[in-house]
Amino acid sequence: MNQPPPRPPWQGLLRWGPHGGAHRVALRAGLSVLVPLLVLVLVGRVEWTPYAAFGAFTSLYGRNHARPERAGMQVVAGGFLTLAVTLGVVVSLAPASRWLVVVLGALLAAAGSLTSDAYRWHPPGPLFLVFAFAVCAMVPAVPTTVPVAAGVAAASVLVSLVIAHVEALGHRDRWHRPQLPAPRFRDALEAPGARAGSTPTGPWSLP
């Protein structure tokens, strides 16, 4: 029996299969990172790109939620990402910043895991918060960098929100006020594994 010739290996890279709308999430995330970074490069402020990049992670939250719930989740997550960036810059100013990064990073991981459970973030866990904090804590900074980092991260969060919901901005019938999630810290503390500082799916897991 004649067997069909083997397919070239690159055909698997070009195959378009079921993806649950992942291409829209990827496009929003790519644009959310590209726009702030491109602006900073054009204005000659490449040293600020880490702060903008972590603010852009806002676009990754709430992909499976309806638009109002996704907007509310992204507003809350973006606020915490901005806080993590700012805290990292503040720690970078300390003489013994490397030791502080270890200690505060561990505390942030536990607090971020609890916060993720309380606000029911998707993707869950504190990975992005800890990543933003640790990287920004290792970037050399001066005291005046603190408000700059906070402002750049917050502006990047705003850009991500606009890109994520630009379709609704031009259609009033599609626009709904963001529904900010009510935190359930008591439920998060009583959840299995909460006392160990992990979520039911693990503190670092992604969808």
For the chain, helix (H) and strand (E) counts, in that order, are: 9, 0
pLDDT tens, position by position, 48-99: 999 999 999 998 888 776 777 888 889 999 999 999 999 999 999 998 788 8
Residues, the chain:
207
Under the banding of pLDDT at 50, 70 and 90, the label for residue 199 is: very low
Confidence (pLDDT) at 191: 65
| One-letter amino acid for residue 40 of the chain | L
Indicate whether 39 belongs to any domain. Answer: no
By C-alpha distance, which of 172, 204, 182 is closest to 69? 182
Q: Of 18, 120, 38, 36, nearest to 82 (Cα)?
A: 36
3-state class (DSSP) for residue 23:
helix
Average pLDDT over residues 14-27: 66
The confidence score (pLDDT) of residue 181 equals: 67
The answer as to whether 37 is a domain residue is no
Domain coverage including residue 157: 47-195
Tokens found for residue 55: 């603010």
Q: Is the dihedral of CA 23, 78, 191, 100 positive or negative?
A: positive
In a domain, 85, yes or no: yes
Over the stretch 104-156, which tens digit does the pLDDT of each residue have? 999 999 999 999 888 888 888 899 999 999 999 999 999 999 999 999 999 99
State the DSSP code for 47. G
Say how many domains are in the chain: 1
Looking at residue 142, its amino acid is: V
Does residue 138 belong to any structural domain of this protein?
yes
Q: What is the pTM of this model?
A: 0.77
Considering only residues 183 and 140, tell me which one the structure prediction assigns the higher pLDDT: 140
Better-predicted residue by pLDDT, 23 or 26: 26
Residue 205 maps to a domain? no
Please check whether residue 98 lies inside any domain of the structure: yes
In a domain, 32, yes or no: no
**Position 12 in a domain:** no
